A and B are shown apart, each in its own frame.
Chain A
Amino acid sequence: MLTIKNLHATVVGKPILKGINLEIGDGEVHAIMGPNGSGKSTLANVIAGREGYEVTEGTITYKGKNLFDLAVEERAREGIFLAFQYPVEIPGVSNIYLLKAAVNAGRKHRGEPDLDAMGFLKLVREKLKLVEMRDEFLHRSINEGFSGGEKKRNEILQMAMLEPTLAVLDETDSGLDIDALKIVANGVNSLRSAERSMIVVTHYQRLLDYIVPDYVHVLAQGKVVKSGGKELAHELEAHGYSWVGDDAKAAAG
């Protein structure tokens, strides 16, 4: 699905990623953990193609294609979905409008006809249940005045509607209380499938109790300093990030 080789990236000229290697297979869920400033969110944004994140070295191959050849929206239509750490507020544009425009942009890309209004509405209502959101939610401006939990649920709703093949969840647990976390996690889990891979970026192990990863990677100073199975997350929880500190230093050196 996704192969990252020796990825180096800078933000405003400052090197953040310093040689990331990752291999993500179909249907796999990979957790990326690490202390603040380790480059987790940078990795997520580089995959999505955000401006200002400059790749200076390395490659990312997605479904056999060079990811860097694709514009932000082309990546999205090819099935890459980024759940934002800070979902953007867009006054004046309703949720339902965005969902419809986005779903149809994807369908058009795949050579499918637009979804008719009835079919679309049916689909939305179904997905709304997944994240326990009410109908009126759809008619509010995107994320405007939403609580932290509502914003994150809205991200998962969009993910459910767009049915990506690679979902990147950037700190989706931040700012959530336990109930909202469960709702979000349930939404994500119900979207797990053999065709859909996920990258779950998080600072805390807490989220991984609910979204159980196949693999865990620890990022420090722009490099993967440790990889392992889900048990790695528990070790981190027990020992803290300083536990991988020596490896981090070695990586940095």
Chain B
Amino acid sequence: MSVKLNTESCEQAFDSLSGELVGVDQAWLSQRRHDALNRLGNTGFPTVKHEDWKYTDIRLLTKHEYVLDASIDLTAMAAKVESSRIDALDALRIVIVNGRFRRDLSTIDSLPEGLIAGGLAEQIASDPASVKAWIGQALPENGHGFSSLNDAFVNDGVYINVSAGITVSRPVEIVYMISAGDVAPLAQPRTLVIVAEGASIEVVERYISDSEDTYLTNAVSEVFVGSGARIELDRIQEEGSRAGHVGGLFVCQRTDSHAVINTISLDGMLIRNDLRASLDEPGAKVVLNGLALGDGRQHIDNHTHVDHIAEHCISREFYKSVLDDRSRAVFHGRIVVHKDAQKTDSEQQNKSLLLSRNAEVDTKPQLEIYADDVKCSHGATVGQLDETAVYYLRTRGIDEQSARGILTFAFADSAITDISNEALRAYIDTRIRDKLGAGDLTKGMSF
């Protein structure tokens, strides 16, 4: 079944496919899907005329026809899944291929007490109420066409639930893989992560493909952080060179919860991330870090939106981009302090480094403040390496090229310091170093 990114085609696909989706017998789920399809019908897909898509033209994505149920070369996949392991990363592994959960490729045989981790479709089949209680709760009402599309065809993905008070000691690594080929698959994984009161977990979302073919990932993740709970979510995007990636991540936080979200965009032709965090109850804290490392003709667009709903919440946001060749980065960071959110403490920083004449950056940090007793600041800089720093390093005997390499690497690398897992950090370090061509000199630089 193939589909194009327009409402008519999506509606047709829905008519012929909706009967085969998981949980058709669940009226609430069918209703969800229909509502989402209606929303899509109303909004359509965004164009550059939408303020939120001003700098990201999706015609690169809409010109293709995508296959919703592309077949998978299992043998090849098994090998790729194996080779995608990160050295020394001791994690529980959930593998999703083309949006479908693969128990056969996952490593979740012995889950610790209090942790449910597995496929979303299986969870819907076995315990629909446990999904019904959460799914869609974190999505904004006025989402764009892509999140409606994911919602309309919601079928499989990941379900993680940590019971109250449980600390999961090993990280959960979710590997979203793509098997592409003659056809261009559309993968629409849906991920639900529920961290109950006082619980704690680290989740690593990895979007991987070594494919040179066209495909589209349209992912939606919802994260619920209970009172006093803690989550670190690391998203690493290493999509194929012709891949589109539209990723929505929606986080809801309760009293005194703490979420750290690290978004590292490395590969992929067009990446659009929508990250929305809602600080619903007092004392919640969210930290958003991002790194966009672009080269070639990559286009990396990070839209973040933090809602300070309750008082005494803290948000910290720190996004960086380093752009080479003809790549382009967009940063749109919106912080809304609602009228009762007194004592809000919010900081946002966006820094960009242009390495090439043809690179481009568009940045829009935004503060919307409706409460008066707040401390908010944001800053954005676009520029080059600090020439005094280059000089300083040279007076210490380091040649100019290395000095520039060191400073560029340091600039990029500082975006990942909040990733607590050392093995993961080491892996990303290497990827950054390779991509920047920073060479051996920067090895051992991270601290």
Q: Are B397 and A90 in contact (CB under 8 A)?
A: no
B353 to chain A, nearest CB (A): 12
Task: State which of B394, B406, B410, B444 has its C-beta within 8 Å of the C-beta of A76.
Answer: B394
A142 to B406, CA, bound (A): 13
A72 an interface residue at 8 Å Cβ cutoff? Answer: yes
Chain B residues near A97: list those with CB within 8 A.
Answer: 444-445, 447
Given A73-B394, A97-B444, A91:B399 Cβ within 8 A = no
Task: State which of B386, B388, B396 has its C-beta within 8 Å of the C-beta of A98.
Answer: B396
Given A76-B396, A77-B397, A50:B391 Cβ within 8 A = yes
Interface residues of A in 48-99 (CB under 8 A from B): 48-51, 71-73, 75-77, 81-82, 84, 87-94, 96-98
Q: Are A98 and B393 in contact (CB under 8 A)?
A: yes
A105 an interface residue at 8 Å Cβ cutoff? Answer: yes
The residue of chain A having its C-beta at the shortest distance from the C-beta of B412 within the complex is A92
Q: Annotate B409-420 by CB proximity to A: 1 below 8 A, 0 otherwise.
A: 011011000000
Interface size on A, residues (CB 8 A): 34
Q: Are B407 and A72 in contact (CB under 8 A)?
A: no
A223 to B52, CA, bound (A): 61
Given A84-B392, A88-B386, A91-B414, A73:B447 Cβ within 8 A = no
Interface size on B, residues (CB 8 A): 26
Q: Are A92 and B410 in contact (CB under 8 A)?
A: yes
Q: Are A72 and B445 in contact (CB under 8 A)?
A: no
A187 an interface residue at 8 Å Cβ cutoff? Answer: no
B337 to chain A, nearest CB (A): 28
27 residue pairs of the A-B complex, CB under 8 angstroms, read A48-B395, A71-B394, A71-B399, A71-B400, A72-B391, A73-B395, A73-B398, A73-B400, A76-B394, A76-B397, A88-B392, A90-B386, A90-B389, A90-B392, A93-B407, A93-B410, A97-B447, A98-B396, A100-B444, A101-B398, A101-B441, A102-B396, A109-B397, A142-B392, A158-B396, A162-B396, A162-B397
Which B residues form the contact surface with A (CB < 8 A)? 386-389, 391-400, 402-403, 406-407, 410-411, 413-414, 441, 444-445, 447
Which A residues form the contact surface with B (CB < 8 A)? 48-51, 71-73, 75-77, 81-82, 84, 87-94, 96-98, 100-102, 105-106, 109, 139, 142, 158, 162
